[in-house]
Amino acid sequence: EIVMTQSPATLSVSPGERATLSCRASQSVSSNLAWYQHKPGQAPRLLIYSASTRATGIPARFSGSGSGTEFTLTISSLQSEDFAVYYCQQYNNWPPALTFGGGTKVEIK
Partner 1 sequence: QLQLQESGPGLVKPSETLSLTCTVSGVSISNNNYFWGWIRQPPGKGLEWIGSFYFSGSTHYNPSLKSRVTLSVDTSKNQFSLRLNSVTAADTAVYFCARTPVGAPSEFYFDFWGQGTLVTVSS
Given the rule CB under 8 A, which residues bind partner 1?
Answer: 30, 32, 34, 36, 41-46, 49-50, 55-56, 87, 89, 91-92, 94-103
8 A C-beta contact, residue 24 and residue 72: no
DSSP string, 35-49: EEEE-TTS--EEEEE
How buried is 47 (Cβ within 10 angstroms: 0-12 exposed, 13-18 middle, 19+ buried)?
Answer: buried
Least gap, CB of 109 to partner 1 (angstroms): 23
Q: Which residues contact 29 (CB under 8 A, 6 or more apart)?
A: 2, 68, 69, 90, 91, 92, 93
Nearer to partner 1, 26 or 77 (CB): 26
CB atoms within 10 A of CB 62: 19
Please report how close the Cβ of residue 87 comes to partner 1 at its closest, in angstroms: 6
Nearer to partner 1, 43 or 60 (CB): 43
* Nearest to partner 1 of 16, 96 (CB atom): 96
Shortest approach of partner 1 to residue 14 CB, angstroms? 27
Residue number, 16 or 41, with CB nearest to partner 1: 41
